[in-house]
Amino acid sequence: MNEAPEVLTERRAGVLVITINRPHAKNAMTKGAAEAIAAAIDELDGSDELRAAVLTGAGGSFCSGMDLKGFLRGESPTVEGRGLAGLTLAPPRKPLIAAVEGWALAGGFEILLACDLVVAAESARLGVPETKRALVAGAGAALLLPQRIPLPIALELLLTGDPITAQRAYELGLVNRVTPEGGALDVAIELATAIAANGPLAVAVTKEIARSASDWTLEEGWKRQSELMAPVFSSEDAHEGALAFSEKRAPVWKGR
């Protein structure tokens, strides 16, 4: 009897839904699951039909972090050059939205931080409990959380290891939308669909600029932005956007 795949993918009208499918282990991350997520990211960025993706977990939980049984076997839930879950060091070029039910803990929280937007059910709990196990949140939380929320709050989460509610995460700016329990995936797909309706070149370059801006000086930022924008403004899609507006019709994007 074949085991169920550790990661499932489904295409929904320009949106790729990626589901971590280990509900018996609260979707704890394994090497195999990490490699499958990396493959799904390659599918997303390599497809002209796909414009955005949603990452979620099966069985009412997002991801409880690293699979400890695998860790004890000497297995690392990473992909060389791409980080934890095949994602944290090399996020996709296209937008990725996390749909969180239940727990997003430790590595699961760091996977969430690698996503561009987050939708969480009101019953979700988010946290980085590594210090409770004499570990360091080294897959992105210790580095990135202080850039996303005020330093004292980031340190409280990192040093106590205590989780927070979805509502508190929303108030801190870590979560975009809070939904009733069971509703995170539907709202995340709605957001992804809204993004997918826009010009794909413009969306990808806008994400690249926004994600990179903190690494640039102001002078460098203006220069790099101009370089990245130039091909977008001269693209067929830019012409189509203006033409569709003037003709009062929906645009037909070609991604070029």
92's tokens: 């996709």
Calculate mean pLDDT across residues 44-57: 96
Q: Answer whether residue 39 shows pLDDT above 80.
A: yes
One domain, residues 185 and 204: no
179's tokens: 């939904």
Percentage of the chain beyond pLDDT 90 is: 89
Band the pLDDT of 1: cuts 50, 70, 90: very low
Report the predicted TM-score, pTM, of the whole model to 2 decimal places: 0.93
172: nearest Cα among 94, 107, 109: 109
For residue 252, is it within any domain? no
Please identify which residue in the block is written with the tokens 């499958």. Answer: 36
One domain, residues 188 and 206: no
For residue 256, is it within any domain? no
What CATH number does the domain containing 48 carry? 3.90.226.10
Q: What is the pLDDT of residues 97-147, one digit of tens each?
A: 999 999 999 999 999 999 999 999 999 999 999 999 898 999 899 999 999
Please identify which residue in the block is written with the tokens 């990211």. Answer: 41
52 has which bridge partners? Answer: 15
End-to-end C-alpha distance for the chain, whole angstroms: 45
Q: Would you please indicate which residues are annotated as catalytic (active-site) residues?
A: 110, 130
Q: What is the pLDDT of residues 144-179, one digit of tens each?
A: 999 999 999 999 999 999 999 999 999 999 999 999
Q: How far is residue 21's CA from residue 61's CA, in Å, rounded to a whole number? A: 10
107's tokens: 């590595």
Question: Is the CB of residue 21 less than 8 Å from the CB of residue 6?
Answer: yes
One domain, residues 158 and 236: no
User: Which residues constitute the domain of residue 205?
Assistant: 200-246
